[in-house]
Amino acid sequence: MPEIVALSEAQIKAALQELPGWSVVAGKLHKEFKFANFTQAFGFMTKVAIEANTMNHHPEWFNVWNKVIIDLVTHEAGNQISALDVALARMIEEVV
């Protein structure tokens, strides 16, 4: 398995151009999602969980009623943003 490395600031900035609504907050890829109700928010989380598990890369997230907040960082890259986080963010955008 190849070594997982942190992305440079330039690489992160380029990735953000392709990820609408995503930003870097506290060193993590970050986005907040709002849905019509809890059922839709939880359904979204379930779909993301299934896909994230197949990637073996799991989000940090928080849910209250219709809001889901997602933060992505790679522990194997020294708790920094890696290509895995960008790939997971892209997948999340496909799910939503």
Q: Where along the chain do its domains lie?
A: 9-95
Select 9-95's CATH number: 3.30.1360.20, 3.10.129.10, 3.60.90.10, 3.10.20.740.
3.30.1360.20
Among residues 86, 91, 66, the alpha carbon closest in space to that of 74 is found at: 86
Query: Is 85 within 8 Å of 91 (Cβ atoms)?
Result: no
Q: What is the pLDDT of residue 4?
A: 87
> Per-residue pLDDT tens for 45-70?
999 999 999 999 999 999 999 999 99
Distance CA 50, CA 53 (A): 5
Report field, pTM of the whole predicted structure over 0.85 = yes
> Per-residue pLDDT tens for 12-29?
999 999 999 999 999 999
| Beta-carbon contacts of residue 27 (< 8 Å; ≥ 6 apart) | 73, 79, 80, 81
